[in-house]
Chain A
């Protein structure tokens, strides 16, 4: 993986909302019900019969200005130099849940049994072995990509301004989406 902020690109225009990414992520991350490290949310709009729906698959956005890092009193979060991956270390986590209050995207997930947060670490063990994150290789529609933010955000149509999703101004998420016109944020 080349140096520079790493990011996800999700092409929601062909996402079938199957939630395979979510379940595949769960399978490699201890599989606790209630801990949804990647989550697919569904949105709908319009008036019958002119109705639309779209799905947003999202985990942690490995923000350039990560609120979680700033909020964590235990130093469990680190933004890695070089690739910018925001790594959470459950060993250092004290379970205070401050990060869950400040992250606009609901990425940190509290595991009540373990009393710890779990979060997408961008499958760093896979990346470090030259492999792709599990959600990327799981998606039956091949809509999730991982790459350098600089490359992905220049993709035609790539945006983080999505109706129903918090503004990117807050934490500068390293994630972009291709969306259908109905999902365009009109704020």
Chain B
């Protein structure tokens, strides 16, 4: 398939796709002239109330600027010098593929296929994306070490099923039906996540909904929508929720009929057999077990929210129905993120909101599976059964075979430590994983991971650690499909509009060449080109949906979309419990979970409970590192994608937010360069001194590219030089927002 020719002087407007690591998929059109993208526009279909246009955010609008980045990788290279030094020399594709093939063969032969790890990577996704193709190849070679969880929503995905049987969230189309909306660490004005999330929030406000935002920062979401802002100390949302529960119970405002019908574990009358008395949620809240009633006065010093406010918000929440409690992914990316998930669901049940239009609980800005049933590249069956939680991959490098169920290993033990890594369209190898200094020390040791192959568009901090570095194409340089992760029912077709520069290639091409050298090419490609696979995916979608356009129609229209409808999570279970039990052991919502209780783990209690975080405001370490630090998503980046882009840095420069009080105490003025540090590392950042930050907390948005000086101080402000690799107790997820630091003028 060829792009419009360079000699062509006319401007062609062609549908393309923004396929980065974002929950939304916006519609983009590339204006192509003379073989170059000269302009990007967005959805121009009619903008209807029930079918708002899919308008791209600033990152989507800048896709042409990234495509034309003068720093694109253009040729295959191999490492010279020490790993991570970033010195490479150009090689031919043949030499690069030979090298990858021989090292892969060696790893599989010496250590088994379980020594090969295909890393988390969604930088430039697509239906036939590199990660899927690498999985397919490895599965033909016997398999690979797989992972579960993500860096996005580990605690959510892992924990919600213990309570409600599955993770599910109502669609944004239900927001205008809410009277009250509580947003806990939920910031769609900056993350977007689903193309029209803020549009529906605005419609809810128009319809009269009151909005309460819980966040240590006055985020853009809070600044725009909040009637009330609760600037909570990070890691303490569970204390707030438990105190709200205390108010609701003592005022008698709980929906007892809902609790009696659908839940177990709220009170002593509804507990599973074989559990001692006094362990219900109500007993915990009232302090029957530990002698501490979880009153607003108890929560005030923990959370930093005064007792009167907690009491008022609790009563508001319990008396304005329907009310939605939506949590972003930030609160669960904390030390005890599991408890945040459990406590949120419990409040929604206490107020009888779950399963009702305009009510309910939402976790992590999504988690629904409403999308069109559109397939992907078939990856085959993994012959290696053991799986690790993705956040523990560095441990699997160092002590993989010694890891057990206590480390979250499923179907273990591991047959080998990780010896070979495919890192495709991902920056988690270095930048997005926690504790960069520990990570790079592990990666530098060539006795541990013996070979790393990286495919990317730019020389990211992760790409610097490649042994072989392959130049990837961009989503505007290939035909591809994109669909939103969770909510709306549409699929976007992204056309190839320009030729890839230099020798950039799609991963399917070079993985096919690796397969060829291994004698696996016929099985790997089945004789099909990428285009054939795309056609097959579309044909399969058409088989299940007669109105789905054919391949050429989809290509020219760029979009197939069904009108979005309000979807209410757990509606069936609440409307008709006899026929639709919750998929839990008891068939009910397990506010008390016997499964979790039986683990007999001090950090995994039977009911949702506030546990003081290891690097939270109550930790002893506060004496040395008095500031809590969080790493929120920046509006200018999709994780680390676009950190390299000049347009984004101009639109909103990288800064660390610090309160006026904390800045004054350190003689820091707005715009000063500051050093942010703890025992794990240090970074430099530009201070943004603001009223919009809770005193005692600073924020360093995640995703900046790790750029160390000779002392290992990151000059670009990559927050993961400060974060910890300590996993959360139940999900073994990333508590990356939980950290203590101090700041001084650089």
Within 142-182 of A, Cβ neighbours of B (below 8 Å) are at 142
- Contact between A15 and B224, CB atoms less than 8 A apart: yes
Of the stretches B215-223, B347-355, B570-578, the one at the interface is B215-223
Task: Decide yes or no whether B202 CB sits under 8 A from chain A.
Answer: yes
Residue among B47, B65, B190, B224 having the largest count of chain A Cβ atoms under 10 Å: B224
Task: Decide yes or no whether B41 CB sits under 8 A from chain A.
Answer: yes
Task: Decide yes or no whether B229 CB sits under 8 A from chain A.
Answer: yes
Kindly list chain A residues whose C-beta atoms are within 8 Å of the C-beta of B192.
Answer: 18, 140
Nearest-CB distance from A136 to chain B (Å)? 11
Task: Decide yes or no whether B542 CB sits under 8 A from chain A.
Answer: no
Kindly list chain B residues whose C-beta atoms are within 8 Å of the C-beta of A31.
Answer: 64-65, 647
Kindly list chain B residues whose C-beta atoms are within 8 Å of the C-beta of A34.
Answer: 650
Nearest-CB distance from B36 to chain A (Å)? 12
Contact with A along B623-640 (1 / 0, CB 8 A): 000000000000110000
Contact with B along A32-56 (1 / 0, CB 8 A): 0110100010001111110111110
Kindly list chain B residues whose C-beta atoms are within 8 Å of the C-beta of A19.
Answer: 58, 635-636, 651-652
Task: Decide yes or no whether A116 CB sits under 8 A from chain B.
Answer: no
Kindly list chain A residues whose C-beta atoms are within 8 Å of the C-beta of B220.
Answer: 16-18
Of the stretches B283-291, B413-421, B471-479, B687-695, the one at the interface is B687-695
Kindly list chain A residues whose C-beta atoms are within 8 Å of the C-beta of B659.
Answer: 48
With both beta carbons as reference points, the residue of chain A lying nearest to B206 in the complex is identified as A14
Kindly list chain B residues whose C-beta atoms are within 8 Å of the C-beta of A14.
Answer: 202, 205, 224
In the assembly, what is the distance between CA of A47 and CA of B690, in Å?
10
- Contact between B229 and A51, CB atoms less than 8 A apart: yes
- Contact between A18 and B694, CB atoms less than 8 A apart: no
- Contact between A18 and B635, CB atoms less than 8 A apart: yes
Task: Decide yes or no whether A78 CB sits under 8 A from chain B.
Answer: no
Nearest-CB distance from B214 to chain A (Å)? 12
Nearest-CB distance from B333 to chain A (Å)? 22
Other-chain residue from B40, B56, B61, B691 in contact with A46 (beta carbon distance below 8 A): B691
Task: Decide yes or no whether A24 CB sits under 8 A from chain B.
Answer: yes
Task: Decide yes or no whether B231 CB sits under 8 A from chain A.
Answer: yes
Task: Decide yes or no whether A103 CB sits under 8 A from chain B.
Answer: no
CB-CB under 8 A for A17 and B202, given A22-B651, A31-B65: no
Contact with B along A1-24 (1 / 0, CB 8 A): 000000000000011111110111
Task: Decide yes or no whether A71 CB sits under 8 A from chain B.
Answer: no
- Contact between A49 and B231, CB atoms less than 8 A apart: yes
Kindly list chain B residues whose C-beta atoms are within 8 Å of the C-beta of A46.
Answer: 691
- Contact between B57 and A18, CB atoms less than 8 A apart: yes
Within 681-736 of B, Cβ neighbours of A (below 8 Å) are at 690-692, 694-695
Nearest-CB distance from A87 to chain B (Å)? 20
Kindly list chain A residues whose C-beta atoms are within 8 Å of the C-beta of B58.
Answer: 18-20, 22-24
Kindly list chain B residues whose C-beta atoms are within 8 Å of the C-beta of A22.
Answer: 58, 651
Other-chain residue from B41, B195, B196, B651 in contact with A23 (beta carbon distance below 8 A): B651
CB-CB under 8 A for A48 and B691, given A16-B198, A17-B223, A36-B650: yes
- Contact between B56 and A20, CB atoms less than 8 A apart: yes
Nearest-CB distance from B348 to chain A (Å)? 26
Kindly list chain A residues whose C-beta atoms are within 8 Å of the C-beta of B651.
Answer: 19, 22-23, 40
- Contact between A23 and B224, CB atoms less than 8 A apart: no
Task: Decide yes or no whether A139 CB sits under 8 A from chain B.
Answer: yes
Nearest-CB distance from B498 to chain A (Å)? 16
Task: Decide yes or no whether B55 CB sits under 8 A from chain A.
Answer: yes
Contact residue range for chain A? 35 or more
Task: Decide yes or no whether B44 CB sits under 8 A from chain A.
Answer: yes
Task: Decide yes or no whether B646 CB sits under 8 A from chain A.
Answer: yes
Residue among A22, A23, A40, A49 having the largest count of chain B Cβ atoms under 10 Å: A23
Task: Decide yes or no whether A134 CB sits under 8 A from chain B.
Answer: yes
Task: Decide yes or no whether B438 CB sits under 8 A from chain A.
Answer: no
- Contact between B55 and A33, CB atoms less than 8 A apart: no
Kindly list chain B residues whose C-beta atoms are within 8 Å of the C-beta of A121.
Answer: none
In the assembly, what is the distance between CA of A138 and CA of B56, in Å?
7
Interface SS of A by simple majority: mixed
- Contact between A52 and B64, CB atoms less than 8 A apart: no
Task: Decide yes or no whether B96 CB sits under 8 A from chain A.
Answer: no
In the assembly, what is the distance between CA of A139 and CA of B224, in Å?
15
In the assembly, what is the distance between CA of A20 and CA of B573, in Å?
41
- Contact between B55 and A138, CB atoms less than 8 A apart: yes
- Contact between B55 and A139, CB atoms less than 8 A apart: yes
- Contact between B691 and A45, CB atoms less than 8 A apart: yes
Within 193-238 of B, Cβ neighbours of A (below 8 Å) are at 195-196, 198-199, 202, 205, 218, 220-221, 223-224, 229, 231
Kindly list chain A residues whose C-beta atoms are within 8 Å of the C-beta of B231.
Answer: 48-49
- Contact between B198 and A27, CB atoms less than 8 A apart: no
Within 659-698 of B, Cβ neighbours of A (below 8 Å) are at 659-661, 690-692, 694-695
Nearest-CB distance from A47 to chain B (Å)? 7
- Contact between B646 and A27, CB atoms less than 8 A apart: no
With both beta carbons as reference points, the residue of chain A lying nearest to B230 in the complex is identified as A49
- Contact between A48 and B694, CB atoms less than 8 A apart: yes
With both beta carbons as reference points, the residue of chain A lying nearest to B195 in the complex is identified as A140
Kindly list chain A residues whose C-beta atoms are within 8 Å of the C-beta of B636.
Answer: 19
With both beta carbons as reference points, the residue of chain A lying nearest to B224 in the complex is identified as A16
Task: Decide yes or no whether A88 CB sits under 8 A from chain B.
Answer: no
Contact with B along A85-108 (1 / 0, CB 8 A): 000000000000000000000000
- Contact between B223 and A27, CB atoms less than 8 A apart: no
Task: Decide yes or no whether A186 CB sits under 8 A from chain B.
Answer: no
Task: Decide yes or no whether B175 CB sits under 8 A from chain A.
Answer: no
CB-CB under 8 A for A137 and B650, given A17-B223, A19-B635, A44-B692: no
Contact with A along B644-655 (1 / 0, CB 8 A): 001110111000
Task: Decide yes or no whether A67 CB sits under 8 A from chain B.
Answer: no
Task: Decide yes or no whether B240 CB sits under 8 A from chain A.
Answer: no
In the assembly, what is the distance between CA of A53 and CA of B219, in Å?
9
Task: Decide yes or no whether B42 CB sits under 8 A from chain A.
Answer: yes
Kindly list chain A residues whose C-beta atoms are within 8 Å of the C-beta of B64.
Answer: 27, 31
In the assembly, what is the distance between CA of A18 and CA of B42, in Å?
16
In the assembly, what is the distance between CA of A54 and CA of B224, in Å?
8
Within 88-124 of B, Cβ neighbours of A (below 8 Å) are at none
Task: Decide yes or no whether A141 CB sits under 8 A from chain B.
Answer: yes
Other-chain residue from A33, A53, A138 in contact with B650 (beta carbon distance below 8 A): A33
CB-CB under 8 A for A24 and B189, given A16-B220, A139-B55: no
The 4 closest A-B pairs by CB, nearest first: A16-B189, A53-B223, A23-B58, A19-B651
12 A/B residue pairs, CB under 8 Å, sorted by A: A16-B220, A17-B220, A17-B223, A18-B58, A19-B58, A27-B62, A33-B646, A53-B223, A138-B56, A140-B56, A140-B198, A141-B202
B residues whose Cβ falls under 8 Å from a Cβ of A: 39-42, 44, 47, 55-58, 61-62, 64-65, 189-190, 192, 195-196, 198-199, 202, 205, 218, 220-221, 223-224, 229, 231, 635-636, 646-648, 650-652, 659-661, 690-692, 694-695
Extra contacts, 13 of them, besides A17-B635, A24-B42 (Cβ < 8 A), are A17-B220, A19-B635, A20-B57, A23-B647, A23-B648, A44-B691, A45-B691, A48-B661, A137-B55, A138-B61, A140-B198, A140-B199, A141-B202
